[in-house]
Amino acid sequence: MVQINTSDDLVAQIDALGVADTVKAHRKPPLPTRILRDLYELYHDQDTYLEFLTNYPLIPSDLADLIASELDPSKTAIATGLAGNPRCPQQALNRLVNHQEVTVRHALANNPNLTPKEFQIMVVDDNPFVRAAIAQNTSLPVHLQFLLADDASSAVRIALAGRKTLDLDIAVHLAQSDDTAVRAAVIIHCGLDDELLQLWADGDNLRQQLLLLRHKSALPNNTQTALHFSPHSFVCRSALAEQALSGPEMLFFAESDDTRDRIFLAEQSDLPASIQRILAQDASPKVRRRLAANGSLHESIALHIAASSDLGSCRALAKNPSISDEVIAYLCGHPEDEIALLIAYRDDLNDTHRDLLINQRDSLTVAEHCAYLEVDYTAISEPVVEQLAQSDAPTLRTFSAYSPHVSGRVRTRLVTDPSEQVRLAVASNPTLDDTQLKQLCADSNREVVFAAEDTYTARLRERSPTKDTDTSECATETAHKGSKRKPALFNKIVNFFGE
């Protein structure tokens, strides 16, 4: 930073940095009084340098008074600097209280050196921003704070509520305001006495207790406990939402006449089976549905719900990602296709579940959905295959073509199916006979041909000799004849394609 030795050095710096940055640069260490007085004597007719002097917080009081006495009221920037300067003498502050410019009075309202007389004038200022600023002034007398507590402007009352030190009677008065923003300012944001927080928690004012739940800092234990026993069920539920419920609290909610209380309980984790059983028999379907969707549902309760005729609860249970395989299996056999379909779309099914969904149901609805989902399951029973193979939808016929339980009659029909997708699926079925495979090897679709060739090759490998004796006999016979023949498997493949 440039060393300031004369007023000319200071002038040069003000011209280079501006008023605000120069003020900031010379708070510590302060400028010598001599330089400040020289600046005024040489440049008292230039507003820029006067503005610097009035904004500099370490200006001599007599110099500030001199500037104020000679101040042109139209020079707002200079007046604003004086109004907010803690070194400004009382005589100057008194002259600025009735300044016509709002910015000047607003700056003055933040000055902690105001006298009670000046405070008395400013609390009834016409401008609400000035009154809001005076409401936060640390030197504002308490009796004037009471006056502002009834101010017509919400902004003024909110500013008053934001004081670091707020009289308890004023806080109580503001908390009863009809304006939600004012109530929120005093209850949520203010650091109030614990006794006052306890007063609101012990009361029956719903609005005050709801705001207490959103307090900016953690409430004292006694205050939290008081909210647990609030006469308003919503407050009680909200206060308990983040805590583990005790046995008596669970029973209280389970037997409550308010459905919302029982729904709240049904959503809690780690409920004992006894409480879950009470909720499973609740008269409200909403409560039963919330319980069925609970990730901590006991298996016995889940089976009880699955065996019930309550479709809503069964629907919620089928969507519950935490139910066991046994419960899933039970729902697979549910008489309503809607429930079984919800199970079919789960990602945690095993082959037992798929067998129940596809082969053990009276309706083909679920099996058809599994076909469209391209479920990787081929153990489809013969009766289901018979019905799917007769469908007009190629996807359903394709699904049936993979089954090892396809009858000969159905295989014959699938081999000549007009859909290439169906023929491609049946070409990989190992239950086809040689004639059917040869027929597919002559298919017009190359993918079908390749699939049929792979199936037939696998069959030939299964038929090839595997015993050591057979291998040695073949080798001896070949050596005895002295001819170089190709392996038997290769010859069979060549003969097959030659045909």
Query: Given pLDDT bands bounded at 50, 70 and 90, which one contains residue 2?
Result: low
Query: Given pLDDT bands bounded at 50, 70 and 90, which one contains residue 153?
Result: very high
CB 385 within 8 A of CB 378: no
pLDDT at 292 over 70: yes
Query: Given pLDDT bands bounded at 50, 70 and 90, which one contains residue 466?
Result: low
Mean pLDDT throughout 160-178?
88
For the ranges 191-195, 358-362, 437-441, 494-498, the lowest mean pLDDT is seen at 494-498
Query: Given pLDDT bands bounded at 50, 70 and 90, which one contains residue 355?
Result: very high
Percentage of residues in the chain having pLDDT higher than 90: 40
pLDDT per residue as tens digits for the range 6-54:
888 888 888 888 888 888 888 888 888 898 888 888 888 888 888 888 8
pLDDT of residue 279: 95
| Sequence letter at residue 80 | T
For the ranges 103-117, 185-199, 289-303, 306-320, the lowest mean pLDDT is seen at 185-199
Query: Given pLDDT bands bounded at 50, 70 and 90, which one contains residue 459?
Result: confident
pLDDT of residue 476: 37
Q: Left, alpha or beta for 280 (phi > 0: left; psi -120 to 50: alpha)?
A: alpha
Mean pLDDT throughout 267-284?
93
**DSSP three-state, residue 100:** coil
pLDDT of residue 299: 95
pLDDT of residue 482: 35
Those residues whose C-beta lies under 8 Å from the C-beta of residue 235, and which sit 6 or more positions away, are 206, 209, 210, 213, 227
If one counts every other C-beta atom within 10 angstroms of the C-beta of residue 255, the result is: 11
pLDDT of residue 137: 93
H or E segment at 347?
none
Mean pLDDT throughout 322-351?
94
- Per DSSP, 245 falls in state P
pLDDT at 207 over 60: yes
CB 224 within 8 A of CB 216: no
Mean pLDDT throughout 287-305?
95
pLDDT at 263 over 90: yes
CA distances from 243 to 231, 456, 472 (A): 19, 66, 79
pLDDT per residue as tens digits for the range 377-423:
999 999 999 999 999 999 999 999 989 988 888 888 999 889 999 99
**Would you kindly state where each structural domain of the chain is located, as residue ranges?**
244-319, 324-376, 378-462
pLDDT of residue 467: 46
Query: Given pLDDT bands bounded at 50, 70 and 90, which one contains residue 465?
Result: low
For the ranges 13-27, 239-253, 314-328, the lowest mean pLDDT is seen at 239-253
If one counts every other C-beta atom within 10 angstroms of the C-beta of residue 149, the result is: 23
pLDDT at 425 over 50: yes
Among the listed residues 87, 86, 81, the one whose alpha carbon sits nearest the alpha carbon of residue 106: 81
For residues 451 and 228, the model is more confident at 451
